[in-house]
Amino acid sequence: MKRKVTLMLSLLIIVQVSCKKDVSDLDILAETITIDGTLYTTVAIGTKTWTASNYNGVGGVNYKDGVNDPFLGKLYSWPEIKAIANLPKGWRIPTEADVKSLMTLVGTKVDLTQTYTDATSCAKLISTTGWTNVLYTGLNTTKLNLHPTGYLSISALGTKTFSDKGIRASFWTSTTVQSGGKYLPLLFEISTSSVDARNQPAGLRGGIYSTTANGDGVTTMLAEKRSLRFVKDN
């Protein structure tokens, strides 16, 4: 009888250990989120969790209208991203405050006069591949994996110009600022451009900017298409 009880206890321990392993496996699988039927990896950085790849849902365009690359995702106008509905509970389009929190965590001084990220901080955020200038390949220590997807600008006549793939990684925020009677959406951008109209030093630099497109409050936001990420509080 004693032997039978010992055997039952052994089986119970095996079952418990096996169940514990399953929980661990589920914890790993939980590091993903499904949005519009597409599975995205996520990464926890500080007090927030970010999607670790670009949005690749309905709407948008592929770079140069080419074949879709799920790794790069698609480029979206600001009205398109504002129209996205039914995000999983707690998830949102990042605000300016979300981006500033991210910048602070990688070592950027953020205040009213400084919203630029230096090369050392940028390297922690960007992908290790895909950059044209090998001198500025990222370290991706945060696993955020920002990739240089470039962007699309659309002229008043409807002419489309795709620019800066391999040079520029940028994604929209949900924050707008008022300028000259227009509401301009803010974006977060990292680039290796040697010439920067915003008077940043040449090299790998990033920051929060308003769009430079022209037009009224509606056509301004239609005039550019960029990448998109999502974020939630932990």
Measured between alpha carbons, how far is 162 from 218 in angstroms, rounded to an integer?
A: 21
49: helix, coil or strand?
strand
Distances (CA, A) of 12 to 17, 21, 37, 137: 9, 14, 39, 52
- Pick the more confident residue, 108 or 45: 45
Which tens digits make up the pLDDT trace of 58-99?
999 999 999 999 889 999 998 898 899 889 999 999 999 999
Rounded distance between C-alpha atoms, residue 104 and residue 221, angstroms: 28
**Whether pLDDT at 15 is above 60:** no
108-127 residue pLDDT tens: 877 665 677 888 899 999 99
Is the pTM for the entire model greater than 0.75? yes
Q: Express the helix, strand and coil content of the chain in percent, nearest 5 each.
A: 25, 30, 45
pLDDT at 25 over 50: no
